[in-house]
Amino acid sequence: MTLSCVVCTIAGAPDAGERGNIYSVGLPYAARGWALRNLTLPWLSRMGFKELIVTGQWEQGPGYHYIKVPEVYRNIGDLLLQRQAGYDLSTGDWVLYLNDDTIWDPSNPLPADLECQVLSPSRWSRAATPYGSPLNDGSMASSPYNEEDYVHFHATLVRREVTQRIPWVTLPPEPGVDVLFSMRLNYEGIPWRHAPEYKVWDIELGARI
């Protein structure tokens, strides 16, 4: 099995310094750019992915392929466009989609699940404790607000053939698209599961959820 990694971002957008990020208190979206340049991308470039792809609005740099994807919706719909562009360039059997505030734990194995075609990793943060505490990962157990389990979009492991059947750009560009994606998987009979054996870490300063 081979694994490609696609990182989606608008941290390089011309107005990223003025746009607030609803998940961090008082920080503009451009604040993620410092972490991308100095931490996230150097870290991910050493994880042994078949390829590392950055899509959205960022910059050319060493260790990764960059695809500029101009914003169209200025909401989560742009994430779908970015994921599709990354998928189109990727060649791995599995594709890991990461938001730009998320890093992959180096102890994670290569995906080898032959039954489930979409895996939803567990999310963690060291903001409150030195050893890490769990964040909402789309499971009902991780959040009292989740009415049902769903595949979260902070980090998503997807087999190639899934995106051939359900291209990202066919999903509705609206809030809650992660829940709608999970419902579409169920409708299509594509097996998926929460995968606590895979960890991702939220590294955004001030992130709350």
Report pLDDT for 32.
84
Number of structural domains the chain divides into = 1
Report pLDDT for 21.
58
Domain of 147, in residue numbers: 3-202
Grade residue 18 by pLDDT with cuts at 50, 70 and 90: low
- Residue 24 in any domain: the answer is yes
- Residue 207 in any domain: the answer is no
Task: Determine which helix (DSSP H) or strand (DSSP E) holds 68, and give its type and residue range.
Answer: strand 65-68
Assign residue 7 the CATH number of its domain.
3.90.550.60
Grade residue 13 by pLDDT with cuts at 50, 70 and 90: confident
Which residue from 100, 111, 94, 108 is spatially nearest to 51, judged by alpha carbons?
94
Report pLDDT for 27.
66
Rounded-to-integer distance, Cα 32 and Cα 9, Å: 9
- Residue 188 in any domain: the answer is yes
* pLDDT tens profile 26-48: 567 777 888 999 999 999 999 99
Residue 196 neighbours by CB under 8 Å, 6+ apart: 121, 122
* pLDDT tens profile 87-144: 999 999 999 999 999 999 999 999 987 789 999 999 999 887 888 899 999 999 999 9
- Residue 209 in any domain: the answer is no
Report pLDDT for 20.
58
Residue 96, number of CB atoms within 10 A of its CB: 27
Average pLDDT, the chain: 91
Cβ–Cβ < 8 Å for 72, 94: no
Rounded-to-integer distance, Cα 190 and Cα 35, Å: 35
Report how far apart, in Å, the C-alpha atoms of 63 and of each of 10, 22, 45 are. 19, 30, 6
